[in-house]
Structure 1
């Protein structure tokens, strides 16, 4: 019968190598077979309490214990550590291995082999991780294009890197796979984009041939007083487009949005608001509404210039 579980303080919250814990006399193999411990990966365990609310960081901690020298957490997992969550539920941990390194396959691992110079390696909370620059470079080369742009926009907005640095980094790696896609992404990138859905909405409008909007535009009234900030704008036409996430449905946000929208209308702005459903499932209708608003304002401006020539 397994021995009664005891929890050494250093093993209470983080994953650990079972072989090391046994060698240090902290646990026995019999204890590890008991109900207090959960096996995550070969030779990697964690206390059951740590799994009550597992997150991707826990799995990164577990995977890092098995990484060979010179390997690193990379891709969307690295972005997560740098503060950008692009992960699907139960996504495997992305790791980058030097071509000569070995790592046993596992469903919780997504392995890519590539050159990984020391200059592309960093430490985050003790974990080996690709630098923000290398992380953005890798994610920006991975199709589909909209997800690549979402990743680059989010990392730029997080201010863990800057667009000129990423462009320069790409320019000296011209023969790497995926560079044509990355160049397109860099031409479209917008560091001011505040959410993945805002990026997708902006890309939808650009792909429809609309003029590039201004991101995060401050609207002022006739007296120069601040009215509000809009996600995407064509200031000359006083047309704005916004993405409404779920938080806008909360009572406090709803009241603030109503007051803000009324103030923008009073300042002479047309404001179109779209949801995820509009961006992902009703793309043609969404574009048509924006085109109509821009055309309406263009016609008004042209009419004014005819009636009041300079």
Structure 2
């Protein structure tokens, strides 16, 4: 009967440098080559029970152990650590390297080279990262345009960056690559946007000439709160909402029905869209909103007439 491998408590969950564990007598190289440990990067390992192939935090921890002096986690990885929803499940870790610093390439890494003054570095969640302000500045300059806006909105929503501060920061660096895109993004940014798909829906409508739209508009009737809607044209009492997967849950569905009935009683029309509507049927989505706006603008016929 085989004896289970000894697992030092300090190595039970987080990535670690293999050479350090060996030098401290915690493990041997033979043990590290066994099935108990997973090699993430050169000289970086994690216990097999702590390994999740799509765990971005685990990969950030692993990459941080290999960062040369002056390098930090940046871009979408830094934004994700700040709480912004900007990553796909299999996204590589973004690292920002000062111009003269070198780092061995790896499939789990995206390397960006850029000047990095000390004031643009910080530590967050125990890891070296670009500041939230520098992170928003970098992502707002990085196309495609919709992705840049989604990233900036997400960081503004987390309240780790203020729009006024980001505008001032960008203005002081107007000659940097991607600055024209960032200027456009800052004219579209909405700190009240509550999800990436809500940002995409708003941008789709703005690009179609539909607007201005009020984000997170609070609706009241007879002085009482009725609902808060994602996007609104208050003058015409038209609400436009993005419905994520959570709306399909039974309890949420029941609340939605009661909410929609209350909005209708208050004289509002509500259009609801899904990710498929925004991403795969954008023309049809725009057409529906335009039709609703036209109907709301049309004069109401006198009572008793068609």
Q: Shorter-chain TM-score: which interval?
A: over 0.9
C-alpha distance 210-41 of structure 1, shift in aligned 2 (>3 A): same
How many Å apart are 1:4 and its aligned residue? 6.2
What whole-Å deviation, never above 9, does each CA across 1:70-93 have from its counterpart, x for those lacking one?
110001100110001311122110
Q: Secondary structure at the match of 1:94?
A: strand
Q: Secondary structure at the match of 1:35?
A: coil
CA contact (8 A) 2:85 2:196 kept: no
CA contact (8 A) 1:3 1:31 kept: no
C-alpha distance 22-163 of structure 1, shift in aligned 2 (>3 A): same
Measured in 2, the distance between the counterparts of 1:32 and 1:3 equals 16
How many Å apart are 1:147 and its aligned residue? 0.6
Task: Please give the TM-score of this superposition, normalised by the length of structure 1.
Answer: 0.94
1:153-232 to 2 correspondence within 5 Å? 153-221=153-221, 223-232=222-231
Task: Please give the TM-score of this superposition, normalised by the length of structure 2.
Answer: 0.95
Q: Which residue of 2 aligns with 1:259?
A: 258
CA contact (8 A) 1:74 1:96 kept: yes
Give unmatched runs, 5+ long, in structure 1: none
Q: Secondary structure at the match of 1:83?
A: coil
Measured in 1, the distance between the counterparts of 2:288 and 2:177 equals 38
CA contact (8 A) 1:70 1:97 kept: yes
CA contact (8 A) 2:94 2:110 kept: yes
How many Å apart are 1:194 and its aligned residue? 0.3
Measured in 1, the distance between the counterparts of 2:282 and 2:246 equals 22
Measured in 1, the distance between the counterparts of 2:235 and 2:202 equals 18
Measured in 2, the distance between the counterparts of 1:142 and 1:127 equals 23
What whole-Å deviation, never above 9, does each CA across 1:205-246 have from its counterpart, x for those lacking one?
00001121000000111x111110100001111011000000
Q: Cα RMSD (Å) of the superposition?
A: 1.8
Which consecutive segments of 4 or more residues in structure 1 shift more than 6 A? none
Q: Which residue of 2 aligns with 1:47?
A: 47
Q: Which residue of 1 aligns with 2:272?
A: 273
CA contact (8 A) 2:14 2:61 kept: yes
CA contact (8 A) 1:227 1:264 kept: yes
Q: Secondary structure at the match of 1:155?
A: helix
Measured in 2, the distance between the counterparts of 1:54 and 1:10 equals 23
What whole-Å deviation, never above 9, does each CA across 1:136-190 have from its counterpart, x for those lacking one?
1111111110010000001000101100000000001011000000000000000
Measured in 2, the distance between the counterparts of 1:95 and 1:43 equals 18
CA contact (8 A) 1:230 1:242 kept: yes
Which deviates more, 287-296 or 265-274? 287-296
